[in-house]
Amino acid sequence: MANKYQGIEKETPDIIRNERQLTGLWRWVVIVLSLIGLVLIVNQIFSLGIFNIVLLNNIFLYLLLAIYFSIVFLIFPLKKDSKVVFWIDCTLFLVSFFTFSYFAYNGYNIQTKGWEIVPPQHFIYLSIIVWVLIVESVRRTVGYLMASIIVLISIYPVYAGYMPGVFRALSRTFPKTAVYYALSGEGILGVSLRVTGDTLIGFMIFGTVLSYIGGGDFFIKVAFAVLGKAKGAAGKAAVISSALMGTLNGSVMSNVITSGSITIPAMKKTGYSSTTAAAIELCASTGGVIMPPVMGAVAFIMAAFIGVPYVTIIKAALIPSLLYYLGLYVQVHSYAMIHNIQSGDFVGDDYKLSIRKLFSILKEGWIFIFSLAFLIYYLLATRVVSRAPYFTILILLVFIMLGKNRLKLKNVWELLYSIGQSLSEIISIVAAIGMILGALYFTGVGPVISREILHYAGDNVALLLILGAVASFIMGMGLAVVASYIFLAIILAPALTPLGYNIIAVHFFILYWANISYITPPVALGAYPAASIAKANSLNVAFEATRMGGVIYLIPFLFVFEPALVFQAEIGAVLYAFMWAVLGVILMSCSMSGYLYKVGRLHFGNSLSNRIMEYLSRFIILAGGFSMALPYFQAKIIGVVLAVIVIVFANFKTKAIYALANNSVNDSN
């Protein structure tokens, strides 16, 4: 159904993820379960009362687990490259399906009879089985590292009494811990799964539908059309298209795979190195988690944690995400100027993507823009977040069915399979996050650790922020972004907010630093699919991405000091802060890339003294840009003075080098 490119190479990684494409009976099992799940979700969200069924919330969540969680064991194999559903996969699928279905059948008793405290004996065994199933599902979907962390944290209540200092708490028995996770409202059925069932699933389905019918390709074509004649066009188009993709898909890995399969070959064809092409796409895709309105699961969970409307979160996310993409765009432009990368003829003669084709592209795909516009309007006008994506999907499908590219029955089955595939993975991860939350709630150590962090840092604000950044980054290396965010929102956020920092800015600070792990060595999970598409070394890609996306390490500090950047001020103050932040981010990005507009490359020569002068100049420009973005007027003045002095010096120095080079050439002639 998606519009195909003509002339643009499209490549996919040799190994994208540990996932197999089902065929035959098992594919139909996923399709049927996905359809049943959609009916269940719509019935619950809109209170339709189909077959006069009104479900308690815990019954609804258990049924979601039975339907989508069980699919994990069919789609994600026991070992990599295993394309056949073995008996162990089938067994785990059936055990998980019937166990959660049985929990749903007994949902009323679980909620009203206090079974999370004193359960029937067989529920203890079933709870332990659920624990094992969740750990195995995470191992299959995310990998051994996250599964190991889940085990270590989830079993913490059992050995909490033997831990030193602030980590010491009353120990619980293994059976009681398992029952608490499986049956209580603060374990697997905690805030992460509740938010997923109520809100996130709808947005994930919307993103899947939009991408399936060509929305992702449309955004890429728009970016290529607008930037097709610009210098280094392919790299800039990758930034813009991934930013647009990020509005509907909050998954870094998915963005790298879908956008990168087109943008990375196009960049390589026009002169970007394999490593740089992969790094640009990785940085651009990483911004999907921080680009509103969808932002994966994080935006919805953050709204639930802070206790503010979802619209407040997406509004707060807007300026920081724009600043990040601005910084990345400047880096890409600088790279293209330094290496003299032209726009290039990276598409076929029969379909040149240029500004002349933009209007025809928009005419062809206007429904995608309209659907996003309607979604945002509905969110702002009604603030009924849970129903917004379903109305948008309905409008989208109606217009598609009335057009020439209408969905056939085969396409409907494929779409249902894609929905089941994506929901199974997120449900698995969210269930595991529930056990992390359960461990903190069950032991009560979260507030204690927060108080100790605050006590340790004392009045040293810089130390506390650095500790928070390091903690967020370390957690982000092993956990999914949403898991890392939730863990630190409980432990770290309460340590920062008493110091007077805005609570929304603090939560975004945690989110940004957890998200950074996707591009930062040694883990850099997003580097693997990008490197695979580009045929590059993943570690080299990660190091290059760290430089290309360097502003993402500084932006969180800016909005913590200046809450106006997350819309926590009057509109005048927001615009004033944004103006200075734009200037600061441009200078910081120029410093990191080593290129200044109208000055040229910041390279003063190869001697040691010239190299020292070069890096010192770049550091001063970086410091000047950062100072300009701070909320203090004195800091802005200092930043402007520093930047102007160095820019004037660099301009004089580069002109002198250019003149010297010309004289040398003339003398030789």
Q: What is the pLDDT of residue 344?
A: 62
Q: What is the pLDDT of residue 458?
A: 67
Hey, which residues does 595 pair with through a beta bridge? 601
Q: Please write the tens of the pLDDT for every residue from 358-397.
A: 777 888 788 888 888 888 888 878 777 888 889 988 988 8
Q: Please write the tens of the pLDDT for every residue from 208-226.
A: 888 788 787 788 788 877 7
* Reduced 3-state DSSP string for 591-621: HHHCEECCCEECCCCCCHHHHHHHHHHHHHH
Percent of the chain with pLDDT over 90: 33
Residue 329 three-state SS: helix
Domain ranges of the chain: 24-142+155-184, 572-662
Q: What is the pLDDT of residue 79?
A: 82
Which amino acid belongs to residue 238? A
Q: What is the pLDDT of residue 60?
A: 94
Query: How far is residue 125's CA from residue 443's CA, in Å, rounded to a whole number?
Result: 22
Q: What is the pLDDT of residue 96?
A: 97
Q: Please write the tens of the pLDDT for every residue from 608-644.
A: 888 888 889 999 999 999 999 999 999 999 999 999 9
DSSP string of 280-310, one letter each residue: HHHHHHHGGGTSTTT-TTHHHHHHHHHT--H
Report the helix count and the strand count for the chain, using DSSP H and E: 32, 2
How many other C-beta atoms are found inside a 10 Å radius of the C-beta of residue 118?
10
Residue 657 pLDDT class (50, 70, 90 cuts): low
Residue 296 gets the label, from left (phi > 0), alpha (psi -120 to 50) or beta, of: left
Q: What is the pLDDT of residue 665?
A: 41
Residue 3 has pLDDT above 60, yes or no: no
Q: What is the pTM of this model?
A: 0.82
Q: Please write the tens of the pLDDT for every residue from 44-97.
A: 998 887 777 778 999 999 999 999 999 999 999 988 777 788 899 999 999 999
